[in-house]
C-alpha cells in the first residue's frame, strides 16, 4: 500500500457559515431545516412564470452559486494546506445542509407548474410517510447505552433508509409502490434533500468523536461498530477535508489490522477520485454507454492485483452486486 504524505492535524476545522438565504425561501425554513411545502419558491423555473417569480428564482440560484463558490474556495485552501496542490473536488456536495437541501429538492421541471403540482401531490404522501418511518426507526433503534460502539451501530440507520429510497422502484427498492416518472422525481428529490441534512448531522457527530477519542478501531469498538464509523465518513462528501484526514488516520491502522482493508480501499477511492480525478481500487462507478464501469483509474492494468491486495472481490462480481442493488444503467440518450 502506498503511503499518503503529511501528518494529520490534531484538530478538525468548523464549517464556515453559509450566506443568508433569499427572502423567497424564508417561509420554508423552520429551525434551520428546509421544507419545500407548496413549492411556490420554485415557481419561477417554469415557462409560464411571471417576471417577479423568475426574479425570485434568479435570487435563489445566485444564492446557491455563492454557497458553492464560498465552499469551494474554503475547501481548496484547507486541502492545499494538507498538501493537495490542485484539488479537483469531483462529486462536490454543499457543506451547508440548508444549501444542500434546497439544491437537492429542486426536481427536474417539465411542462407547466400545474403539471408539476400534480406530480408533487402524488409524491407528497409517499415522501412524508417514508420520512416519518425514518424518524421512527431512528428513535426505535437508538442506543440503549451511551458507549461509542452502541452509538456507532445505531447511527447509520436513518441515512441507510434514505439512501435506499433514492433508488425508488429499482434495485433493492423494485417492490416499492409505483409512481409516475414525474412523481418519482419529486419523491427522490425530497429524499435526497433530507439526506443532505442527515449526512451533515452524522458528519459533525463523527468529527466530535474522532477529535476526542481518535478513530474507532476494531480493537476498541469492535469490527461491526468500526465498519459503521467508516460508513459515516464514506458518506461525508460535503466535508472532503475531514474525509482526507480520516483516510490518513486509517492508513497505519490498516497495516496493523485495526481497520478493515476493504473499508480503507473504498474511502481511498472516494476521497482521491474527488481530489485528483482518479481512483486506485475501482470501487467508484459510473454509467457509460448504458453499462456500469469504473471511473478513471490510477493504474488500470494492475486493477485486479490492487483489488485482491485489499480483500476486494473481482471486478465482475462487484459489478453484478451493483446491478442487483441499484438496477441496470439507463440507456444513453439518443
The pLDDT of residue 328: 87
Report how far apart, in Å, the C-alpha atoms of 212 and of each of 216, 234, 239, 297 are.
Answer: 11, 20, 18, 35
The pLDDT of residue 236: 96
The pLDDT of residue 334: 54
Task: Write down the pTM of the prediction.
Answer: 0.90
Task: Let me know: does 245 contact 9? Beta carbons within 8 Å.
Answer: yes
pLDDT in tens, 158-180: 999 999 999 999 988 999 999 99
Question: Phi/psi of residue 287, each to 5°?
Answer: -90, 125
Cell output for 294: 469504473
Bridge partners of 287, per DSSP, are: 292
| Residues belonging to the chain | 334
The pLDDT of residue 133: 97
Task: Let me know: does 253 contact 224? Beta carbons within 8 Å.
Answer: no
The pLDDT of residue 333: 63
The 3-state DSSP class for residue 18 equals coil
**What's the rounded Cα separation, in Å, for the pair 102 and 81?**
30
- The count of other CB atoms within 10 Å of the CB of residue 279 is 26
Contacts 24+ apart (CB under 8 A), 321-329: 322/285, 322/292, 323/171, 323/292, 324/171, 324/172, 325/167, 325/171, 325/172, 326/167, 326/170, 326/171, 326/172, 327/167, 327/170, 327/171, 327/174, 329/287, 329/288, 329/290, 329/291, 329/292
> Residue 129 contacts by C-beta under 8 Å, 6 or more apart in sequence?
none
The pLDDT of residue 325: 84
Cell output for 153: 451501530
**What's the rounded Cα separation, in Å, for the pair 102 and 104?**
6
> Residue 77 contacts by C-beta under 8 Å, 6 or more apart in sequence?
none
Helix (H) or strand (E) holding 170: none
The 3-state DSSP class for residue 93 equals coil
> Residue 21 contacts by C-beta under 8 Å, 6 or more apart in sequence?
29, 60, 63, 98, 102
pLDDT averaged over 10-residue windows placed end to end, the chain, 334 residues: 41 62 95 91 92 96 94 93 89 83 83 92 97 96 93 97 94 93 94 93 97 96 98 96 97 96 98 95 93 95 97 95 86 68
pLDDT in tens, 228-240: 999 999 999 999 9
Task: Let me know: does 169 contact 149? Beta carbons within 8 Å.
Answer: no
Amino acid at each position: 500500500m502506498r503511503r499518503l504524505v503529511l501528518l494529520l492535524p490534531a484538530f478538525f476545522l468548523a464549517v464556515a457559515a453559509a450566506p443568508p438565504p433569499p427572502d423567497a425561501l424564508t417561509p420554508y425554513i423552520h429551525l434551520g431545516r428546509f421544507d419545500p411545502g407548496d413549492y411556490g419558491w420554485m415557481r419561477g423555473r417554469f415557462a409560464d412564470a411571471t417576471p417577479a417569480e423568475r426574479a425570485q428564482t434568479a435570487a435563489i440560484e445566485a444564492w446557491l452559486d455563492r454557497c458553492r463558490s464560498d465552499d469551494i474556495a474554503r475547501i481548496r485552501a484547507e486541502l492545499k494546506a494538507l498538501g493537495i496542490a490542485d484539488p479537483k473536488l469531483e462529486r462536490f456536495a454543499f457543506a451547508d445542509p440548508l444549501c444542500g437541501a434546497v439544491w437537492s429538492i429542486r426536481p427536474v421541471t417539465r411542462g407547466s407548474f400545474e403539471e408539476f403540482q400534480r406530480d408533487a401531490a402524488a409524491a407528497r404522501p409517499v415522501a412524508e410517510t417514508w420520512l416519518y418511518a425514518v424518524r421512527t426507526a431512528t428513535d426505535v433503534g437508538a442506543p440503549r447505552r451511551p458507549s461509542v460502539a452502541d452509538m456507532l451501530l445505531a447511527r447509520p440507520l436513518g441515512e441507510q433508509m434514505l439512501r435506499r429510497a433514492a433508488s425508488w422502484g429499482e434495485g433493492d427498492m423494485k417492490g416499492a409502490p409505483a409512481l409516475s416518472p414525474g412523481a418519482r422525481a419529486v419523491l427522490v428529490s425530497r429524499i435526497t434533500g433530507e439526506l443532505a441534512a442527515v449526512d451533515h448531522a452524522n458528519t459533525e457527530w463523527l468529527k466530535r468523536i474522532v477529535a476526542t477519542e481518535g478513530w474507532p478501531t476494531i480493537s476498541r469498538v469492535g469490527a461491526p461498530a468500526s465498519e459503521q464509523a467508516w460508513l459515516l465518513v464514506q458518506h461525508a462528501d460535503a466535508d472532503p477535508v475531514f474525509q482526507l484526514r480520516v483516510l490518513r488516520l486509517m492508513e497505519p491502522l490498516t497495516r496493523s489490522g485495526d481497520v478493515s482493508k476493504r473499508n480503507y480501499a473504498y474511502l481511498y477511492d472516494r476521497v482521491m477520485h474527488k481530489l485528483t480525478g482518479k481512483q486506485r481500487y475501482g470501487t467508484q462507478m459510473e454509467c457509460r454507454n448504458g453499462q456500469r464501469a469504473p471511473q478513471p483509474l490510477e493504474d488500470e492494468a494492475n486493477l485486479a492485483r490492487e483489488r485482491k491486495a485489499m480483500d476486494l472481490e473481482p471486478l465482475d462480481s462487484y459489478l453484478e452486486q451493483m446491478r442487483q442493488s441499484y438496477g441496470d444503467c439507463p440507456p444513453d440518450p439518443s
